[in-house]
């Protein structure tokens, strides 16, 4: 069965420190992988995606993610966290555009 | 560019009642999705349309849920009759096409079934 897992319910990081939000996937074929962010009382917003090509993809607000096929991972990273990055982050994946599967989400807290 | 519109934003109903949600996707987006997001969980795809055709509805509880996108633009999701476990946020999203395209989400409808 296809799945997307986010092993951490919550990640805490101090402002200015690097952050990583983890995601692993089990998707048949060549996966399309996405990160979305959900701020309080707002809808999900697209951050970045991996389709093919360069394993390091860059997205909005200074975020980037690294696709690792051997480890079936797609971790979200940012070199220097901001308090305003505090939000709920979702990893999602699918193949061929069918049945997007979302992870359970990871809540990021950035402390000033 | 206008975003995905949804209404209502909030709805409270009693169990066994019916409810309908409306979604208007971004203009020109062929693919429309309805998700159910239960508190503490990620969104779960209920149904996916490509224009006015259903691509996937394998996780739609068809005994009580129905959805349509008659003219390939806006869409309606209905629950009849509602159960307590249907309490959730119902998200509508759209994308340009199927495949490697990001989805744009509406603000969602928070449904409470009492």
Q: Of the ranges A31-40, B19-28, B93-102, which one carries the lowest mean pLDDT score?
A: B93-102
CA gap A10, B92 in Å, rounded: 26
Residues on chain A touching B45 (C-beta within 8 angstroms):
99-101
**Counted domains in chain A:** 1
Q: What pLDDT does residue A96 have? A: 62
Q: What mean pLDDT comes out for the span B55-83?
A: 94
> Is residue B11 pLDDT above 90, yes or no?
yes
Closest of A111, A110, A112, A97 to residue A31, by C-alpha: A97
- Does CATH number 2.60.40.10 belong to domain B5-113? yes
The answer to whether the CB atoms of B44 and A42 lie below 8 A apart is no
First to last CA, chain A: 41
Domain of residue A23, CATH code: 2.60.40.10
Q: In which domain, by residue range, is A56 found?
A: 3-111
Please state the domain extents for chain B. 5-113
Closest C-alpha among B3, B2, B4, B11 to residue B89? B11
Predicted pLDDT at A53:
87
Which sign, positive or negative, has the C-alpha torsion A22, B104, A45, A67? positive
Residue A91 has pLDDT above 80, yes or no: yes
Token couple for B109: 């409808």
Asked if B25 reaches chain A (Cβ–Cβ under 8 Å), the answer is no
Contact A46 B97 (CB under 8 A): no
């Amino acid at each position: 069965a296809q799945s997307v897992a986010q092993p951490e319910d919550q990640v805490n990081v101090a402002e200015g420190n690097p952050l990583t939000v983890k995601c692993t996937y089990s998707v048949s074929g060549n996966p399309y992988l996405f990160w979305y962010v959900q701020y309080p009382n707002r809808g999900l917003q697209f951050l970045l995606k991996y389709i093919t090509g360069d394993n390091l993809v860059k997205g909005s607000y200074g975020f980037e993610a690294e696709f690792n096929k051997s480890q079936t991972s797609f971790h979200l990273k940012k070199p220097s966290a901001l308090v305003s990055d505090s939000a709920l982050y979702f990893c999602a994946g699918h193949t061929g555009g069918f049945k997007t599967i979302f992870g359970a989400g990871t809540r990021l807290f950035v402390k000033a | 560019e206008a975003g995905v519109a949804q209404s209502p934003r909030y709805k409270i109903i009693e169990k066994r009642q019916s409810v309908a949600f409306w979604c208007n996707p971004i203009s020109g987006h062929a693919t429309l999705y309805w998700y159910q997001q239960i508190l503490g969980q990620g969104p779960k795809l209920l149904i996916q349309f490509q224009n006015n055709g259903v691509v996937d509805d394998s996780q739609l509880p068809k005994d009580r849920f129905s959805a349509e996108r008659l003219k390939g633009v806006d869409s309606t999701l209905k629950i009849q009759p509602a159960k307590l476990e249907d309490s959730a946020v119902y998200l509508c999203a759209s994308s340009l096409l199927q495949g490697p395209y990001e989805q744009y989400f509406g603000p969602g409808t928070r449904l409470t079934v009492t």
